A and B are shown apart, each in its own frame.
Chain A
Amino acid sequence: MSSFDYSALSVDDIRSGLAAGDFKARDIAEAALTCIEAADASINAFLQVTPDAAFAAAEAVDAAVAAGKLDTLGPLAGVPVGFKDNMNLLGTRTTCGSRMLENYESMYTATCVQRVLDAGGLPMGKLNMDEFAFGSSTETSAFGTTKNPWDLERVPGGSSGGSAAAVAAGMTPVTLGSDTGGSIRQPASFCGVVGVKPTYGLVSRYGVVAFGSSLDQVGPFARNVRDAALALNALVGHDDKDCTSQPCSTDFTANLNEGVEGMRIGIVPVFMTAEGLEPEVGEAVLGAIQKLAAAGAEIVEVDLPNAAAAMSAYYVIGPCEAFSNLSRFDSVRYGFRDPGHADLGSQYEASRSGGFGAEARRRIMLGSYLLSAGVYNTYYYPAQQVRTLITDDYRMAFGECDCILAPASPRTAFKFGEISDPATMYLSDIFTISINIAGNGGMSVPLGLGSDSGLPVSAQLICPWFEDEKMLRVAAALEREYGAAPIAPSYADLTASSGEPAPSSDLGGE
């Protein structure tokens, strides 16, 4: 056996390496831990690393391989996976990046996490995020910022910033994030990795701390489309603990190599001319369109006449749901309790103002206002009507195309502190939000580096409800043009030769 380049391994590489006996799952877990230790000192993607859980999972994988039963293991056998810290995993803290849950020990395991474990994944730890997923830069985490591996002075995006950065720095090949208005696609774009927000209902939300229940969806980050598709295979399907989850038997890897010939790719003109869209991003997306056309796709213009109202609908629906979802944090059963109060009312107020950060307080306040009597009919009800219009827009558009191509984010990663005004920060998600409103699937796929900033730029692909395999197919075609997502240059060397198989005598027979 020779040493192996851990961070270069794809999900398939890990499986074939395990099959060939090149390394054991335990070696992979050790390499991942070494890599996390080396890279995360400067990045701070992980809030918590879970070596014991990783080794326990690795042991189970190795036992199965030793028994000749690798075939019985799921698609993520031996694959290190990190989880956004709003996902419950029994035996870990689940903080949601908030003081409120700083010491909260998960009392159960989220379905999406369990499915990764069931698929043979190695749980490496919990990843930093904007507090309760309120943000687009991971700056609102109570536990420090996460740095963008491409430029440590820049944000990784958010709210799933830790999940994006961990993959971009080569710490783990796959992570999970959640996306309420762009929280997977925007950080994937900022960090130059693949990030998939599946159609609403494809992945169970059970055990993922809710932000906007009708908007939230869990999905994978990976450095290549196939890895993301394999992760999706593990994640999707009905969960009887989540009423909104749906059955799914799609193999998302099945048509990755089919190319785009004959596919109709939709372009939304208003997106391409949107105010705030940086030229280098626009150029890159236009370049991608040309490449798809050259590969045989038919490019069609589609109209989303109500997309402009998506932002305001989102900032009504999201805060209303968040206000309600976050009312359970009351210092009674779990979570931060401000000490020394003689009456419950003052304990409530002190605990909630002390436990929640500024952005969380703002959204709770906004939701509380928007749902109040007399105001409900001015904003909440019409926002849900606008949602109908936007949903219809997408349905109409998908009558004319198989998949829509758009920018993922209007710009590349910005610097820490560069955007402090909430309203401007909210504009980070102008291209992603309407997809959550309508429930469609969307994903970010890297298009290389921006001509101006030299930072990663991505396209967003959007699919009809429950036809996520279509956007993965287009993403795979783009990947063939642009190459798989590279590890951020400063971390490529740091994590390259970290894999060192242990002597086989330590690990039992094969």
Chain B
Amino acid sequence: MKTMDQVLQDWEAVIGLEIHCELTELETKMFCGCKLEFGAEPNTHTCPVCLGLPGALPVPNKAAIESIVLAGLATNCDIEKHTMFYRKGYMYPDMAKNFQTTQGPKAFAMRGWLDLDVDGKGAEERVEVRDLAAGDEANGATRTETGYTTHIGITRIHMEEDAGKMVHLGGGEGRIDGATHSLVDYNRAGTPLMELVTEPDLRTPEEARLFMQKLRQVYLCLGISDCSLEEGSMRADGNISLRRRGETEFGTRTEMKNINSFKALHDALAYEICRQAEVLEEGGTVVQETRHWDPATKRTISMRVKETADDYRMFPDPDLAPYDLSDEFIEGVRAKLPELPDQKVARFQRSWGLSAYDARHVIEHRETTQFFETAMAQAGPDAEKFAKPLANLIINDLAARMNADEGFDLATSALTPARALELLGLQIADTISSKQAKEVLEVVLAEDKDPAAIVEERGMKQVSDTGAIEAVVDAVLAANPDKVDEYKGGKTGLLGFFVGQCMKEMKGQGNPKLINQLLEQKLQ
């Protein structure tokens, strides 16, 4: 198979997402008062309604409707005042009533959008913008200094209910095929579930990944869901087709369902791009089907091909009153909108002079956002001075640590925002070097002590005394006459060697800036 990069020279990928998200932050289910709780003993959170007992009737959870309106407003959607719940029929044992209560042609939220800022390596996937100058546009993507921005349409966000969970017995690794029996647990049945459907506006796997990530940020910011991909409270279906560059017709698409990690979403779509291109370039046709992403083999596998189109026998649910949302209701929800990620980025740029890139990455996690905001508030009049170093600390050290170590919880770690400021203060004042700062950070986290105390205790203070440094510089130059000659002969790359030797002599405590300056003077 060709690489994705090769494929995308000739083909354009057209990607759409359906992202399901459970409203885990609510107390109770969508249509009954059963408690929402992940991981409880099976069938301990059920009642006549969510078990689908004869005679039971649904009553919608007002907080769920508020949540989806909030989600709609946060994603620039129009709120549809007049909507209804529908029954979507299919007999499957995890669906207690054998129909899912969902919405019909009109959803609570419709016609929204999110803008994506794509930068770094991921921006390279969009081949047509690589060589553009900043500000230029191609295919709806506008080149920026660090990558590009693009506009992703949201078709709708509708309200529905989740199904129960099944355990399949007797087959391999709990798989449904080969199983002899299954166990059904209805605790999850009836969990409020929002389904967001995008327009087919995404063009690369990276954009799909970023879209889901950004949506997750928005939902987390709204406080409506824990958005846990691991526990399945947020999951995506991706559909993708290819078309020759320049064509406007859509190709035949395939769909990948229930993808539960950002990486899997990216990799599954990337694989499909290559696979479909191979099929098409060999003169074949892509079969419209659902394919399963197997992370172990890193490929998608065809599921059973459906013989006929689904026919869900949808009709308006007579048990549920239609909606006629008032302006008052909608404005009441709007008043609860918190500062959204894009607004936060703008504020960080405006107030602290952060770059858009730094601001976006600082707010990638709720914990880092909180950390940054608290520290900035504590920094007082000096805040602006700390902003960039703090952003670096968060992006390069803390976020990296969070990604690498699941057990690391910034909020409860020994590094408080106050200690971070103290640490950065030492660095800004040239009391310690950036290298030493990293060491101090490790000690803070390991031993739960203040940075200043650590520096004091370990004698880690940076030597900025010009006389002391000059003595070391002279000694180093004297000990390496041949290298000095080579340097003077044009091998200026040796400067690093001399700096290293000086630092070694000074046990890492010399001020690297001063060492550099003095070396350059003396070697001239």
Q: Do chains A and B touch in the complex (CB under 8 A)?
A: yes
Spell out A's residues near B (CB within 8 Å): 86-88, 94, 96, 101, 104, 107-108, 110, 205-210, 212-214, 240-244, 320-321, 323-324, 327-330, 332-334, 342, 344, 348, 368, 371-373, 376, 380
List B residues 23-80 near A (Cβ within 8 Å).
48, 51-60
Contact between chains at B53 and A108 (CB < 8 Å) = yes
Known contacts A110-B55, A243-B319: A327-B48 contact under CB 8 Å = no
Contact between chains at A240 and B59 (CB < 8 Å) = yes
B313 to chain A: which residues have CB within 8 Å?
Answer: 323-324, 368, 371-372
Contact between chains at A333 and B51 (CB < 8 Å) = yes
Residue from B98, B186, B320 in contact with A330 in the complex, judged by beta carbons closer than 8 Å:
B98
Residue with the highest number of chain A CB atoms closer than 10 Å, among B48, B55, B99, B314: B55
Contact between chains at A243 and B58 (CB < 8 Å) = yes
Contact between chains at B48 and A107 (CB < 8 Å) = yes
Q: Is the interface of A mostly helix, strand, loop or mixed?
A: loop
Complex Cα–Cα for A368 and B315 (A):
12
B89 part of interface (Cβ distance < 8 Å): yes
Known contacts A86-B55, A108-B53, A210-B55: A371-B315 contact under CB 8 Å = yes
* Chain B residue at minimal CB-CB distance from A334: B53
Known contacts A207-B55, A243-B320: A373-B48 contact under CB 8 Å = no
Contact between chains at A88 and B96 (CB < 8 Å) = no
Complex Cα–Cα for A373 and B57 (A):
26
Contact between chains at A332 and B93 (CB < 8 Å) = yes
Known contacts A327-B89, A332-B184, A372-B313: A321-B55 contact under CB 8 Å = no
A241 to chain B: which residues have CB within 8 Å?
Answer: 57, 59
Complex Cα–Cα for A482 and B147 (A):
89
Complex Cα–Cα for A214 and B318 (A):
5
Complex Cα–Cα for A87 and B56 (A):
11
Contact between chains at B315 and A376 (CB < 8 Å) = yes
B209 to chain A: which residues have CB within 8 Å?
Answer: none
Residue from A209, A243, A323, A380 in contact with B54 in the complex, judged by beta carbons closer than 8 Å:
A209
Known contacts A241-B57, A348-B91: A328-B52 contact under CB 8 Å = yes
Complex Cα–Cα for A371 and B314 (A):
7
* Chain B residue at minimal CB-CB distance from A207: B55
Bitwise, B364-384 to A at CB < 8 A (1) or not (0) is 000000000000000000000
CB distance from B489 to the nearest CB of A (A): 83
B317 to chain A: which residues have CB within 8 Å?
Answer: 213
B97 part of interface (Cβ distance < 8 Å): yes
B57 to chain A: which residues have CB within 8 Å?
Answer: 205-206, 210, 241-243
B186 to chain A: which residues have CB within 8 Å?
Answer: 333
* Chain B residue at minimal CB-CB distance from A100: B54
CB distance from B51 to the nearest CB of A (A): 6
B173 to chain A: which residues have CB within 8 Å?
Answer: none
Contact between chains at A107 and B91 (CB < 8 Å) = no
A88 to chain B: which residues have CB within 8 Å?
Answer: 53-55
CB distance from B443 to the nearest CB of A (A): 58
B311 part of interface (Cβ distance < 8 Å): yes
B87 part of interface (Cβ distance < 8 Å): yes
Complex Cα–Cα for A380 and B309 (A):
20
B446 part of interface (Cβ distance < 8 Å): no
B321 part of interface (Cβ distance < 8 Å): yes
* Chain B residue at minimal CB-CB distance from A88: B55
Complex Cα–Cα for A210 and B99 (A):
14
Known contacts A243-B319, A324-B87, A368-B313: A206-B97 contact under CB 8 Å = no
* Chain B residue at minimal CB-CB distance from A242: B57
B48 to chain A: which residues have CB within 8 Å?
Answer: 107-108, 207
Contact between chains at B315 and A380 (CB < 8 Å) = yes
Complex Cα–Cα for A441 and B49 (A):
28
Residue with the highest number of chain B CB atoms closer than 10 Å, among A104, A107, A324: A324
A332 to chain B: which residues have CB within 8 Å?
Answer: 93, 184
Smallest CB-CB A-B distances: 4 pairs: A214-B318, A327-B98, A371-B313, A213-B318
Residue from A107, A214, A373 in contact with B311 in the complex, judged by beta carbons closer than 8 Å:
A373
Q: 30 A–B contact pairs at CB < 8 A?
A: A86-B54, A88-B53, A107-B48, A107-B53, A108-B48, A108-B56, A205-B55, A205-B57, A207-B48, A207-B56, A208-B55, A210-B55, A210-B319, A213-B318, A240-B59, A241-B57, A242-B57, A243-B59, A244-B319, A320-B315, A324-B315, A327-B97, A329-B54, A330-B98, A333-B52, A333-B96, A333-B186, A334-B53, A344-B93, A371-B315
CB distance from A123 to the nearest CB of B (A): 16
A108 to chain B: which residues have CB within 8 Å?
Answer: 48, 53, 56
B53 to chain A: which residues have CB within 8 Å?
Answer: 88, 107-108, 333-334
Complex Cα–Cα for A108 and B311 (A):
34
* Chain A residue at minimal CB-CB distance from B60: A243
Known contacts A243-B319, A243-B321, A328-B96: A94-B54 contact under CB 8 Å = yes
CB distance from A273 to the nearest CB of B (A): 33
Known contacts A107-B48, A330-B93, A332-B184: A372-B311 contact under CB 8 Å = yes
Bitwise, B81-110 to A at CB < 8 A (1) or not (0) is 000000101010100111100000000000
Known contacts A107-B48, A213-B318, A243-B321: A371-B58 contact under CB 8 Å = no
CB distance from B104 to the nearest CB of A (A): 12
Contact between chains at B89 and A96 (CB < 8 Å) = no
CB distance from B300 to the nearest CB of A (A): 27
Residue from B51, B91, B98, B319 in contact with A213 in the complex, judged by beta carbons closer than 8 Å:
B319
Contact between chains at B318 and A96 (CB < 8 Å) = no
B311 to chain A: which residues have CB within 8 Å?
Answer: 372-373
A321 to chain B: which residues have CB within 8 Å?
Answer: 318
Known pairs A242-B57, A333-B51, A348-B91 / 14 extra A-B pairs, C-beta < 8 Å: A94-B55, A104-B54, A206-B55, A209-B54, A209-B55, A240-B59, A243-B57, A243-B60, A327-B91, A328-B97, A329-B54, A330-B93, A333-B96, A372-B313
A380 to chain B: which residues have CB within 8 Å?
Answer: 315
* Chain B residue at minimal CB-CB distance from A345: B91
Complex Cα–Cα for A44 and B506 (A):
105
Contact between chains at A324 and B59 (CB < 8 Å) = no
B54 to chain A: which residues have CB within 8 Å?
Answer: 86, 88, 94, 96, 101, 104, 209-210, 328-329, 334
List B residues 147-192 near A (Cβ within 8 Å).
180, 182, 184, 186
Complex Cα–Cα for A346 and B50 (A):
25
Residue with the highest number of chain B CB atoms closer than 10 Å, among A208, A333, A342: A333
Bitwise, B330-354 to A at CB < 8 A (1) or not (0) is 0000000000000000000000000
CB distance from B316 to the nearest CB of A (A): 8
B93 to chain A: which residues have CB within 8 Å?
Answer: 330, 332, 344
